[in-house]
Amino acid sequence: MNAPAAPEPRAEDRPARLTVGVVGAGRVGPALAASLRLAGHRPVAVSAVSDASRRRAAALLPDVPVVEPARVLALADLVLLTVPDDALPGLVEGLAGTGAVRPGQLVVHTSGRYGARVLDPARRAGALPLALHPAMTFTGTAVDVQRLAGCSFGVTAPEELRLAAEALVIEMGGEPEWIAEEARPLYHAALALGANHLVTLVAQSMELLRTAGVAAPDRMLGPLLGAALDNALRSGDAALTGPVARGDAGTVAAHVAELRKHAPGTVAGYLAMARTTADRALAHGLLKPELAQDLLGVLAADPAAGPAGPADTTGPADGPRGDDR
């Protein structure tokens, strides 16, 4: 009779391969360290300053001590630098300058803006520099660990460390996407444009629906925005619908008038997005040139839209003129 197969060891029971430290217990660092724990690594230290960051560390990394940044580096083989972008260069210089960085230590930052070059002070001290940016919005709760499954990471590292960087991403459940050093700012701008601005747009939309008397704007918007996002990801500009793409100048003028009356703070954003939408719809043949002039006239008539020249109606092949943007 065959003996029953031995059960697979749990991640927490497997021998840890790397000790992990986190400098900056914002929304990102504890979640990444928690995902590395699930892969068999061992978080050993975290630095946190505010009460909120201490609570996040306690929730996602229980029993991991909160210590000073230099102590984090002393204890960890793999250090996650998860601080705001503007603070990163000074942090790296400070840690390297005080001798906190050890040769052979993996030093990872999660900034979208920077590549591996910002870690040069640590590299000169013998560290192995990696830039691993998760293309995900974080809440600072356990749900973030689940969302990392299938999440793309922007990866930048020296060529000899590329496989190591990609392996770490895969262990966290992510999908590595190689980003060249010089392309990092553009890559990050693209993500901010899509994700951060989406939050602003949705929040404004919900506020306007409440003002219009809708009791559950989230329930109303959920199916609509879900379909719009799915269509946009599948079809790009071909998914454009609505009064701007149709060239309904009168409807757009009514929108602007109502927004000015009830929510004047949203007018500039509406006009900017409508003008950009019109540009793209015209360039892709969705907006008829003969309708574009009246529409762009409405969008240019409001002082908040800034100066603009006459609309270009030469047709989709030429697209909109630069002074109509």
Domain membership of residue 8 (yes or no) is no
Shared domain check, 274 and 312: yes
Domain membership of residue 315 (yes or no) is yes
Specify the pLDDT at position 15: 46
Q: What are phi and psi of 18, to 5 degrees?
A: -135, 140
In this prediction, what percent of the chain has a pLDDT beyond 70? 87
Shared domain check, 24 and 172: yes
Instruction: Give me the numbers of helices (H) and strands (E) for the chain, helices first please.
Output: 14, 7
Range with lowest mean pLDDT among 8-22, 40-54, 88-102, 269-283 = 8-22
Domain membership of residue 2 (yes or no) is no
User: pLDDT at residue 66 above 80?
Assistant: yes
The answer to whether 41 and 18 have CB atoms below 8 angstroms apart is yes
CATH number at residue 145: 3.40.50.720
Specify the pLDDT at position 17: 87
User: pLDDT at residue 304 above 50?
Assistant: no
Nearest in space to 252 (alpha carbons), one of 227, 284, 287, 221: 287
pLDDT-derived band at 5 (thresholds 50, 70, 90) equals low
Shared domain check, 202 and 173: no
Shared domain check, 113 and 19: yes
Give, in order, the Cα–Cα distances in Å from 319 to each of 212, 285, 305, 313. Answer: 36, 9, 20, 8
Task: Note down the domain range covering 241.
Answer: 188-324
Specify the pLDDT at position 4: 52
Label the pairing between strands 78-81 and 106-109: parallel
Shared domain check, 195 and 212: yes
Nearest in space to 92 (alpha carbons), one of 48, 43, 129: 129
Shared domain check, 50 and 20: yes
Q: How many structural domains compose the chain?
A: 2
How far is Cα 98 from Cα 244, in angstroms, rounded to an integer?
57
- Residue 113: both structure tokens together: 């803006």
User: pLDDT at residue 2 above 90?
Assistant: no
pLDDT-derived band at 307 (thresholds 50, 70, 90) equals very low
Q: Give the residue from 162, 179, 196 where a domain finishes.
A: 179
Shared domain check, 23 and 98: yes
Looking only at Cα atoms, what is the longest distance across the chain? 87
Domain membership of residue 198 (yes or no) is yes
In angstroms, how far is CA 279 from the centroid of its own chain? 25
Domain membership of residue 69 (yes or no) is yes
pLDDT-derived band at 314 (thresholds 50, 70, 90) equals very low
Shared domain check, 195 and 140: no
What confidence tens digit (pLDDT) does each residue in 152-205 have? Answer: 999 999 999 999 999 999 999 999 999 999 999 999 999 999 999 999 999 999
Contact residues for 136 (Cβ-Cβ < 8 A; gap 6+): 144, 147, 148, 151
User: pLDDT at residue 21 above 80?
Assistant: yes
Shared domain check, 80 and 206: no
Specify the pLDDT at position 147: 95
Specify the pLDDT at position 301: 65
Shared domain check, 91 and 38: yes
Domain membership of residue 156 (yes or no) is yes
Average model confidence (pLDDT) across the chain: 89
The answer to whether 22 and 61 have CB atoms below 8 angstroms apart is yes
Contact residues for 84 (Cβ-Cβ < 8 A; gap 6+): 26
Other beta carbons within 10 Å of 146: 11
Shared domain check, 244 and 160: no
Instruction: Tell me the whole-structure pTM to 2 decimals.
Output: 0.82
Domain membership of residue 5 (yes or no) is no
Shared domain check, 235 and 168: no
Domain membership of residue 4 (yes or no) is no
Ordered alpha helix ranges (H), the chain: 29-38, 51-60, 69-75, 88-97, 120-124, 143-147, 162-171, 184-191, 197-211, 217-235, 243-246, 249-262, 267-283, 289-301
